[in-house]
Amino acid sequence: MWLVVVVGSLGCYLIKLLGYVVPQDWLAGERCNRVNTLLPIALLSSLVVILTLSGSSGPLLDARLAGVAVAAVLLVLRAPFLVVVVAAAATAALLRLVVG
C-alpha cells in the first residue's frame, strides 16, 4: 500500500515539475490554447455521464438520467444556470418520489 502512495506522490511531483520545464512557446501556442479551453468541458461531461449512469452492478437508468436530460434541454434553450440546476434536481426528486 505504501508503495502505491509513494509512487503516486512521486508521479504528481514529476507532473508538477514538468510544468516548470516546458518551454513557454509551447504553452502560448494556438493548439495548447484550444486544448486548455476544451479539456475542462470534456472532463466534466465525462464525469457527469459516469456518475449518472453508473451503478454498483453495472449501468443504471434511474431518475438521475431524467434530471440530466432536463438540464441538457434547458441548457440548449439557454436558460439561466440556477433554473437548470433547480429544474434538474426537481425532476429527479419528483421521479424518485413517484417511482418510490
pLDDT, one tens digit for every residue, the chain (100 residues): 899 999 999 999 999 999 889 888 888 888 888 988 999 999 998 988 888 888 777 677 788 889 999 999 999 999 999 999 999 999 999 999 998 7
Identify the DSSP state of 6: H
Show Cβ contacts of residue 64 under 8 Å, excluding neighbours closer than 6 positions.
51, 52, 92
CA distance 7 to 100: 45
**Domain range annotation of the chain:** 1-59, 61-100
The reply to whether the predicted model has a pTM over 0.75 is no
Q: What angle is formed at CA 61 by the lines to CA 50 and CA 72, rounded to 5 degrees?
A: 65
Identify the DSSP state of 64: H
Distance between terminal CA atoms of the chain? 41
